[in-house]
Chain A
Amino acid sequence: MVGWEGTYGLELRGADPAEHVLARSAEGDQLAFAEIVRAHQSMVFGLAYHFVRDRSLAEELAQEVFLHLHQNLSSIKSPAHLTYWLRKVTSHRCIDLARRRRVRPQVSLEDVAEPVAENVSGDPMLSETLRRTIAALPEKPRMVVILRYQEDLEPAEIARVLGMPVNTVKSHLRRSLAMLREKLSRCLGEVKI
Chain B
Amino acid sequence: MSRLDDELKLALAREEPPPGFAYRVLERVAAGEGARAGWWERLPLYARPPWVRWLALGATAALLAAIAVSQYDAPVVERAEPGQAQVNVGGEDSRKPDTAGEHQGAVVSTSPSTTNNGASIAPGSRRDDRARLEQRRKEQELRAEGEAARQQLILALRVASTTFNGAMREGVKAARIRPMLASRS
Contact = CB atoms under 8 A, between A and B. Distances in A.
A42 B17 contact: yes
Given A37-B26, A149-B8, A192 B3 contact: yes
B21 A193 contact: no
Among B8, B10, B25, B37, the one with the most A-chain Cβ atoms within 10 Å of its Cβ is: B25
Contacts of A192: 3
A59 B6 contact: no
Interface residues of A, number: 42
Nearest to B18: A59
Contacts of B10: 121-122, 127
B168 to A, nearest CB: 87
Interface in B18-50: 18, 21-22, 24-26, 28-30, 33-37
B2 interface: yes
B15 interface: yes
B36 A150 contact: no
A71 B34 contact: yes
B7 A121 contact: yes
Nearest to A152: B9
B128 to A, nearest CB: 54
Given A45-B21, A127-B7, A149 B12 contact: yes
A171 interface: no
Given A146-B12, A149-B8, A55 B2 contact: no
A130 interface: yes
Interface of A: 1, 30, 33-34, 37-38, 41-43, 45-46, 49-50, 55, 58-59, 62-63, 66-67, 70-71, 121-122, 126-128, 130-131, 134, 145-146, 148-150, 152, 177, 180-181, 184, 192-193
Given A58-B17, A121-B10, A127-B7, 9 more contacts: A38-B22, A41-B22, A46-B12, A66-B25, A130-B7, A134-B11, A150-B14, A181-B4, A193-B3
